[in-house]
Amino acid sequence: MKTQKLSVFLYVCVILIFINGIASGADRDVIVGFKKPVGPPEQALIQNHGGVIKKSFHLIPAIASRLPENKIEVLKKDPGIAYIEDDKIFKASDEYTSSWGVSHIGSNTVHDSGFNGTGVKVAVLDTGINYSHEDLNYNYKGGYDFVFNDADPFDDSTFSHGTHVAGIIAAEKNGIGVVGVAPNAEIYAIKVLDGAGFGHASWIISGIQWAVDNDMKIISMSLEGPYDESLRIASDNAYNSGLLLVAAGGNTNGGGVTYPAAYDSVIAVTATDNADKTASFSSTGHEIELAAPGVNIYSTVSGGYNFMNGTSMAAPHVAGVAALVFSSDFKDINGDGIKDNKDVRELLHYAKDLGDPGRDIIYGYGLVNARMAVLGVPGIADIELILIRTNGPADKDTQKVTLSQGDYSITIHNNNLSKIEMEVYVNGVIQKDISSRFKFNRSDDIYLDMNVGSSVFDIVFKPYGGQGSTGYVTIRGMP
């Protein structure tokens, strides 16, 4: 759809909504079930009540139709009617549906833009990886086992911890199971934890050293323990050599951040649920740098797929976003003339702010956001809003932006919301002629232009849909 002036766009949008089969407020799409097979009398009954027949079935005694709202209750009283139910909307159950965390942080939009982590080497320091898994076998590129000191870092843990982490980072986009945050990244299994999930500091240091020696870009560590000076020096040296280190903040139930996450050279990640609330098991502290999904995360395990919880699941979401950034033409954000791991780290800070404004001890800079980190950093006239439905009223989930004089392009990307209301206010008075309501029956992108004259516009975006459903609004100033 080409960008158009608001008045024209809204007219076209109404037409498109009608074409896509969303009934007006006076009609409803329903399936009418009968007590006997459908024939001319049953069809006539629908038509005599002002209905439009869409499909008559012979497999079941029913007719799909569009009926006036005020006739539905009348028809229900007819002795020949068994039931009347809405013609409900179903959607494709794909890899993104299963991988709620991957979708929640905007990874699918980045994938659609052509960034998938291609060629980025990620070292997974964990219990190993089941490299024969159908969702990992193509992206698995090798590694080493420092537990048994051999070249076979297979995941022998009873809970498939390392395999689960690897799937969050780079499960393949192959139409089966789940999809990773960076589905084309190259994953390397560095086994530093035994089958019970324990490992010596020397094993972890050996793994970090292996990652440096083998030109990894990212180290993902879903492990926790006490302070260790040797491990700190190893982490610092790896970071200074150009690697980005990401670690789980620790499952301390509100206690302090564990190591290696608490080292300055490592990104400490806390866990959140699908309502962006911090998980009860997460750690807190000034070392927390980012938050990421870590509750009910479905990913790869030996023998298939399973759910896990923990900051161990949150950290690989961040590592995956880092891989997406590395695979893009990212900016020299710190202006030192070099595009490196330090720039990627700063770009990851363009997150969805949660909790207290700015960085805080609960969420750090906020929920990691693949869209903002990869597709562009908001500037003075560039604004990114994430609309997320919680389990409360829609008014609770609104996002507000204030626009001063100028021309703006607005993009509304729906993930799985049912509706977004856009209310425009001037001096507290709603401007009904330029406010709008957008209904969705699938993932849609809506584009419109807006001119703000001498008056300041306050725009409120209100999302509707099931708990955890999301949408995104991008506002850019136009020259």
Active site residue 328: no
Q: Which residue has the tokens 């560039």?
A: 382
**Inter-axis angle of helices 311-326 and 161-170, to 10 degrees?**
30
Of 451, 465, 456, 449, residue with least CA distance to 429: 456
What is the identity of the amino acid at 295? V
Q: What is the pLDDT of residue 18?
A: 31
Predicted confidence (pLDDT) per residue in 130-158, tens digit: 999 999 999 999 999 999 999 999 999 99
Return the sign of the alpha-carbon dihedral for residues 147, 149, 155, 161: positive
Catalytic: which of 206, 220, 312, 328? Answer: 312
Rounded CA separation 32/55 (Å): 10
7 has pLDDT over 50: no
> pLDDT band for position 123 (50/70/90)?
very high
Q: Which residue has the tokens 């299994």?
A: 189
Q: How far is CA 197 from CA 128, 224, 317, in A?
A: 10, 10, 20
Residue 66 backbone phi and psi in degrees, to 5? -115, 120
Predicted confidence (pLDDT) per residue in 399-431, tens digit: 888 877 777 888 888 888 888 999 998 888 899
Rounded CA separation 266/250 (Å): 13
What is the identity of the amino acid at 157? S
Which residues, 6 or more positions from 289, have their beta carbon under 8 angstroms from its beta carbon? 267, 268, 269, 348, 349, 364, 365
Q: Which residue has the tokens 């001498």?
A: 454
Enter the pTM of the model: 0.67
| 3-state SS, one letter per residue, for the chain | CCCCCHHHHHHHHHHHHHHCCCCCCCEEEEEEEECCCCCHHHHHHHHHCCCEEEEECCCCCEEEEEEEHHHHHHHHCCCCEEEEEECCCCCCCCHHHHCHHHHHCCHHHHHHCCCCCCCCEEEEEECCCCCCCCCCCCCEEEEEECCCCECCCCCCCCCCHHHHHHHHHHCCCCCCCCCCCCCCCEEEEEECCCCCCCCCHHHHHHHHHHHHHCCCCEEEECCCECCCHHHHHHHHHHHHCCCEEEEECCCCCCCCCCECCCCCCEEEEEEECCCCCECCCCCCCCCEEEEEECCCEEEEECCEEEEECCHHHHHHHHHHHHHHHHCCCCCCCCCCCCCCHHHHHHHHCCCECCCCCCCECCCECCECCHHHHHHCCCCCCEEEEEEECCCCCHHHHCEEEEECCEEEEEEEEECCCCEEEEEEEECCEECCCCCEEEECCCCCEEEEEEEECCCCEEEEEEEECCCCCEEEEEEEECC
- Whether the Cβ atoms of residue 457 and residue 403 lie closer than 8 Å to each other: yes
Q: What is the pLDDT of residue 211?
A: 97
With b meaning 16 or more CB within 10 Å and e meaning fewer, what string describes 405-428? eeebebebbbbbbbebbbbbbeee
Catalytic: which of 111, 133, 161, 349? Answer: 161
Query: Average pLDDT of 429-452?
Result: 82
Active site residue 104: no
Q: What is the pLDDT of residue 479?
A: 52
Pair of tokens at residue 125 = 């320091």
* Region for residue 358 given its phi and psi (left: phi exceeds 0; alpha: psi -120 to 50; beta: otherwise): left
Average pLDDT, the chain: 88
5 has pLDDT over 50: no
Q: What is the pLDDT of residue 17?
A: 29
Q: In the chain, what is the straight-line distance between the N-terminal and C-terminal CA atoms, in Å?
A: 21
Query: Average pLDDT of 289-296?
Result: 97
> Could you give the domains of the chain?
26-86 (3.30.70.80), 95-348 (3.40.50.200), 380-477 (2.60.120.380)
More confident of the two residues 450 and 341: 341
Catalytic: which of 27, 126, 228, 343? Answer: 126
Q: What is the pLDDT of residue 377?
A: 47
Predicted confidence (pLDDT) per residue in 57-86, tens digit: 999 999 999 999 999 999 999 999 999 999
Predicted confidence (pLDDT) per residue in 193-240, tens digit: 999 999 999 999 999 999 999 999 999 999 999 999 999 999 999 999
* Lowest mean pLDDT across 32-36, 175-179, 233-237, 329-333: 329-333
Q: How far is CA 298 from CA 195, 438, 447, in A?
A: 21, 31, 33
CA angle 140/141/144 to nearest 5° reads: 100
* Lowest mean pLDDT across 260-269, 292-301, 467-476: 467-476
Q: What is the pLDDT of residue 74?
A: 92
- Highest mean pLDDT: which of 89-98, 180-189, 422-431, 444-453? 180-189
96 has pLDDT over 50: yes
Query: Average pLDDT of 433-453?
Result: 80
> pLDDT band for position 442 (50/70/90)?
low
Active site residue 161: yes
455 has pLDDT over 70: yes
> pLDDT band for position 92 (50/70/90)?
low
